[in-house]
Amino acid sequence: MTDRAGDSLDAAAHRRRTLVVSAIQITAVDGEKSQNIEKLFRLIDEAGERGSDLCVLPEMWTGIEFSNETGYREIAEPIPGPVTAALGERARKYGMYLSGSMYERAADAYYNTSPLISPDGAVLGIYRKTHLFDAPNRIDIPPGFIESAKVGKGGAVDVFETNLARIGMTICSDLRFPELYRELALKGAEIMTCSSAFLSPRFDHWEFFLRARACENQCFIVAAGQYGKEPKSGLAFVGRSMVVDPWGTVVAQAPDEVGITVADLDLDRLARIRAELPSLANRRLD
80 preceded by a cis bond (ω within 30 of 0): yes
Task: Measure the CA dihedral 187/183/161/45, to 10°.
Answer: -160
Q: At 173, phi and psi to the nearest 5?
A: -65, -10
Asked if 265 contacts 220 with a C-beta cutoff of 8 angstroms, the reply is yes
8 Å CB contact between 36 and 60 = no
Pairing of strands 242-244, 250-253: antiparallel
- Would residue 52 be called left, alpha or beta, if left means φ above 0 and alpha means ψ between -120 and 50 degrees? beta
CA–CA distances in Å: residue 274 to residues 183, 218, 223, 245, 270: 16, 7, 21, 12, 6
Catalytic residue at 59? Answer: yes
Distances (CA, A) of 286 to 75, 282, 283: 47, 12, 9
Would residue 172 show up in a list of annotated catalytic residues for this protein? yes
CA distances from 174 to 77, 182, 210, 223 (A): 22, 12, 11, 12
Contact 254, 23 (CB under 8 A): yes
The answer to whether residue 153 is catalytic is: no
| Catalytic residue selected from 33, 65, 104, 129 | 129
| Active-site annotation holder among 59, 65, 190, 230 | 59
Look up residue 209 and give its amino acid: F
**Which of 65, 77, 150, 172 is an active site residue?**
172
CB hemisphere CA count around 162 (13 angstroms): 30
Element containing residue 269 per DSSP (H, E): helix 267-276
Show which residues are catalytic: 59, 129, 172
